[in-house]
């Protein structure tokens, strides 16, 4: 069968032969054995729903073995034979180009060069899934291939509920992931209901088909690092020879060494999984691999002495690095952590003094003891960091729930009021006031042609638009504008592309609309092929996350999720090609609600109208909410937007004098 025929087939008509699990695969951690016997039977019944009754006797035993071995039913037998990667959009079978664009993005998320655990359909974060199993994948791409412009595909946590009649102006796909009743949103609930096959953790851009490889976070990490160094260094100093110490080289965290190189510092990133570290080294995202702590000390001292710009992956535990650098009195200028602490008990964080392999066995065989080991290590980790911060290290939480889980373990990470953390979130200190409040966030695009020349042309278009906008930009956003012009002009030389021909930069509503409009005009003229627009969920409006995206909201509303819900609804009727809303995201199940969109630009007038309407709302919904929270930068930004857009009327806060509150209670 041809590639197109396999896509159109969906669930095969003849039962495929059983497949052996690849020996060299970077497999997902084995999940907790949490289901009762009756629940395991229910999980098998749920899985068999996808297949003809005649296959049930054989598949029931096979799926039961998968559940025993992996803690999940992935249906490996049904993984397609063809290679999965982002092909040019013209190679996909589809009745509508919008649907073909979505298949392209699904394939990009599952590309083994990009996906963390591709056999398990996991893109990043240890559990950030595109689908729960391969049957869902087969059905979804089939539905997309046959759908018309008057149908919408509804996905319930990876499961295609079906094609429903809609309209040309409706989204082609509506995605939800992990949307639990609030009282059933604890970590063990995810373990249970995911094992049953009724929900999944979509992370952020994994389950919304908008991941573009580590590049997607390189830009935000670069901006964060540049501004972190600006906070601690004198104006005339540069980061050369200064140390940034962190951990994690998996999916999103794999961007850290590349960002460190662009920012101009020494990056040391610890990773316990040698395969993940080796993969990043092979892809050119990290310069040096070291697996010996003595060699790491020696190489670090050499890099400091020579004021090098270099990234080093240490294959080992980050705790050993913090502790050894303290003993050697090696000064760490900036410290953070980007391990997957949103899933601390299932492979997101590995304890000190236990190997990667031994930890994975313990996760499966004695999860309670593993939890104790993780919590003891978090205390030890925090203690080591505290020693360095007393020497002057600037440490920030990178939104991975490090401080949250450390506090739950009893580590010394709380402020004197015992309410706040002693260290800030990077959003509180940097991205919130400098970017999100002004409306700047991670706007991204993918060249659907797969042509590198198209990417070069879009880079040039974006740079030209930003330069024009900067000429009339107020002083408050000049730094953001210049940082992004510098970024886009150097993006190609920094070799950002893994998988699809994609790019990301930070822009506000005006910038996003004008860049997208210029793209659509270029498509209409035949200068470039179709473009798929999107963004990270980690943005101005898309995510309500009290310990990350909305950590600089101080009016008490940071634990609400109205903004993210309004965003997905508002985008859906303003022209998005597909929309998504998730429970979970980067800081953990039950800790955040986040959403995103995708939009195909095809050079038509309809696309031009949709992009102006939707991109404007997608940003300014969040700026309005942040202004109502009394964030000074957001008040400035939304007032400026109302002057630019007479049809926009936002409720502004009346600020209260603090002395009025002194003797009220």
Nearest to 285 by CA among 318, 303, 319, 310: 310
Nearest to 423 by CA among 449, 402, 408: 402
Q: Mean pLDDT over residues 299-313, rounded?
A: 96
What does the alpha-carbon distance between residue 603 and residue 360 come to, in Å, rounded to a whole number?
50
Check residue 310 and give its pLDDT. 97
Q: Mean pLDDT over residues 232-236, rounded?
A: 88
Which residues, in sequence order, are CB contacts of 364 under 8 Å at separation 6+?
30, 32, 33, 71
203 is in an annotated binding site: yes
pLDDT at 214 over 80: no
Question: How wide is the angle at C-alpha 250 spanned by C-alphas 454 and 220, nearest 5°?
Answer: 55
Q: Mean pLDDT over residues 51-63, rounded?
A: 98
Q: Mean pLDDT over residues 177-193, rounded?
A: 94
Nearest to 258 by CA among 218, 227, 296: 218
Bridge-based pairing of strands 593-601 and 578-583 is antiparallel
Check residue 453 and give its pLDDT. 97
Q: Which residue has the higher pLDDT, 399 or 536?
A: 536
pLDDT tens column, 307-338: 999 999 999 999 999 999 999 999 999 999 99
User: Tokens 């994994």 map to which residue?
Assistant: 206
Q: Mean pLDDT over residues 53-80, rounded?
A: 97
Which residues, in sequence order, are CB contacts of 157 under 8 Å at separation 6+?
132, 176, 177, 178, 179, 198, 199, 200, 202, 207
Q: Tokens at residue 418, please?
A: 């015992």
What does the alpha-carbon distance between residue 32 and residue 176 come to, in Å, rounded to a whole number?
24
Structural domains for the chain? 3-196 (3.40.1770.10), 214-426 (3.40.50.10730), 432-654 (3.40.1770.10)
Q: Tokens at residue 425, please?
A: 């979130």
Q: Mean pLDDT over residues 111-126, rounded?
A: 92
Nearest to 195 by CA among 46, 71, 347, 78: 71
User: Mean pLDDT in the chain?
Assistant: 95
Measured CA to CA in angstroms, residue 95 lies from 92, 147, 210, 572 at distances of 10, 6, 22, 21
439 is in an annotated binding site: no
pLDDT at 119 over 80: yes
Q: Mean pLDDT over residues 29-34, rounded?
A: 88
Query: How would you label 228-247 residue by residue, b for 16+ Cβ within 10 Å and e otherwise?
Result: bbeeeeeeeeebebbbbbbb
Check residue 251 and give its pLDDT. 66
- If one counts every other C-beta atom within 10 angstroms of the C-beta of residue 534, the result is 27
For 85, counting Cβ atoms within 10 Å of its Cβ (0-12 exposed, 13-18 middle, 19+ buried), the class is middle
pLDDT tens column, 472-528: 999 999 999 999 999 999 889 888 888 899 999 999 999 999 999 999 999 999 999
271 is in an annotated binding site: yes
CB 579 within 8 A of CB 571: yes
pLDDT band per the 50, 70, 90 thresholds, residue 11: very high
Check residue 545 and give its pLDDT. 94
Q: Which residue has the higher pLDDT, 345 or 131?
A: 131
Which residues, in sequence order, are CB contacts of 283 under 8 Å at separation 6+?
113, 498
> In the beta sheet, which residues pair with residue 425?
397
CB 574 within 8 A of CB 610: yes
Check residue 163 and give its pLDDT. 98
pLDDT band per the 50, 70, 90 thresholds, residue 218: confident
- If one counts every other C-beta atom within 10 angstroms of the C-beta of residue 511, the result is 26
What does the alpha-carbon distance between residue 256 and residue 225 come to, in Å, rounded to a whole number?
9
Which residues, in sequence order, are CB contacts of 263 under 8 Å at separation 6+?
222, 225, 226, 229, 239, 244
- φ, ψ for residue 103, nearest 5 deg: -60, -45
Check residue 654 and give its pLDDT. 97
pLDDT at 100 over 80: yes
> In the beta sheet, which residues pair with residue 312?
268, 288
Which residues, in sequence order, are CB contacts of 494 under 8 Å at separation 6+?
218, 258, 261, 262
Nearest to 538 by CA among 559, 567, 575, 515: 567
pLDDT band per the 50, 70, 90 thresholds, residue 187: confident
Check residue 283 and give its pLDDT. 83
pLDDT at 245 over 90: yes
125 is in an annotated binding site: yes
pLDDT tens column, 414-463: 999 998 899 998 989 888 999 999 999 999 999 999 999 999 999 999 99
pLDDT at 216 over 80: no
- If one counts every other C-beta atom within 10 angstroms of the C-beta of residue 175, the result is 26
pTM of the model as a whole = 0.89
Bridge-based pairing of strands 128-129 and 266-271 is unpaired
What 3 state SS string does 421-459 have?
ECCCEHHHHHHHHHCHHHCCEEEEEEECCCCHHHHHHHH
pLDDT at 29 over 90: no
């Amino acid at each position: 069968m041809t590639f197109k025929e396999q896509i159109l087939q969906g669930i095969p008509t003849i039962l495929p032969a059983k497949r052996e699990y690849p020996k060299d695969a970077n497999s997902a951690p084995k999940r907790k054995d949490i289901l009762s016997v009756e629940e395991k039977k229910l999980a098998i019944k749920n899985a068999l729903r996808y297949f003809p009754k005649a296959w049930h006797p054989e598949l029931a035993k096979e799926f039961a073995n998968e559940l025993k071995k992996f803690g999940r039913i992935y249906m490996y037998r049904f993984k397609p034979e063809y290679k999965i990667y982002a092909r040019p959009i013209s190679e996909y079978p589809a009745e509508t180009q919008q649907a073909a664009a979505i298949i392209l993005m699904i394939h990009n998320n599952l590309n083994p060069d990009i996906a963390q655990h591709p056999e398990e359909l996991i893109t990043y974060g240890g559990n950030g899934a595109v689908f729960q199993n391969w049957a869902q994948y087969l059905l979804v791409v089939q539905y997309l291939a046959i759908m018309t412009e008057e149908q919408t595909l509804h996905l319930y946590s990876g499961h295609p509920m079906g094609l429903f009649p809609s309209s040309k102006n409706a989204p082609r796909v509506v995605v939800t992931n992990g949307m639990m009743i609030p009282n059933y949103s604890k970590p063990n609930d995810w373990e249970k209901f995911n094992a049953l096959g009724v929900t999944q953790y979509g992370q952020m851009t994994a389950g919304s088909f908008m991941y573009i490889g580590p590049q997607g976070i390189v830009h935000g990490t670069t901006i964060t690092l540049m501004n972190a160094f600006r906070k601690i260094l004198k104006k005339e100093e540069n980061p050369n020879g200064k140390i940034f110490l962190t951990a994690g080289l998996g999916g999103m965290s794999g961007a850290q060494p590349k960002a460190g190189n662009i920012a101009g510092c020494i990056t040391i990133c610890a990773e316990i999984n040698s395969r993940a570290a080796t993969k990043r080294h092979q892809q050119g995202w990290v310069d040096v691999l070291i697996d010996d702590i003595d060699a790491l000390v020696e190489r670090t001292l050499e890099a400091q002495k020579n004021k090098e710009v270099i990234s080093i992956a240490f294959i080992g535990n980050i705790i050993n690095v913090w502790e050894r650098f303290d003993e050697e009195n090696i000064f760490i200028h900036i410290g953070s952590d980007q391990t997957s602490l949103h899933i601390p008990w299932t492979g997101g964080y590995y304890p000190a003094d236990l190997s990667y392999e031994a930890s994975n066995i313990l996760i499966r065989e004695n999860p309670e003891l593993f939890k104790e080991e993780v919590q003891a290590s978090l205390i030890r980790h925090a203690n080591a960091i505290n020693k360095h911060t007393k020497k002057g290290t600037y440490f920030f939480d990178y939104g991975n729930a490090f401080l949250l889980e450390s506090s739950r373990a009893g580590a010394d990470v709380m402020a004197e009021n015992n309410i706040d953390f002693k260290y800030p979130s990077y959003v509180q200190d940097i991205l919130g006031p400098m970017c999100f409040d002004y409306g700047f966030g991670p706007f991204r695009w993918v060249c659907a042609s797969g042509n590198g020349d198209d990417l070069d042309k879009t880079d040039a278009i974006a740079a030209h638009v930003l330069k024009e906008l900067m000429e009339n930009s107020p002083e408050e956003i000049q730094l953001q504008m210049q940082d992004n012009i510098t970024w886009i002009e150097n993006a190609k030389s920094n070799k950002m592309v893994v998988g699809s021909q994609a790019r990301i930069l930070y822009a506000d509503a005006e910038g996003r609309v004008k860049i997208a409009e210029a793209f659509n005009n270029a498509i209409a003229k035949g200068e470039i092929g179709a473009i798929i627009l999107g963004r990270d969920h980690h943005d101005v409006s898309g995510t309500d996350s009290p310990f990350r995206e909305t950590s600089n909201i101080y009016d008490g509303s940071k634990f609400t999720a109205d903004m993210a819900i309004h965003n997905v609804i508002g985008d859906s009727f303003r022209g998005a090609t597909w929309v998504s809303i998730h429970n979970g995201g980067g800081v953990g199940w039950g800790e955040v609600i986040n959403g995103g969109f995708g939009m195909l630009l095809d050079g038509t007038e309809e696309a031009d109208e949709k992009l102006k309407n939707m991109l404007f709302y997608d940003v300014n919904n969040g700026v309005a909410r942040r202004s109502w929270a009394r964030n000074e930068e957001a008040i400035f930004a939304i007032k400026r937007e109302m002057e630019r857009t007479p049809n926009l009327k936002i409720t502004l806060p009346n600020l209260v004098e603090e002395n009025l509150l002194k003797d009220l209670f």
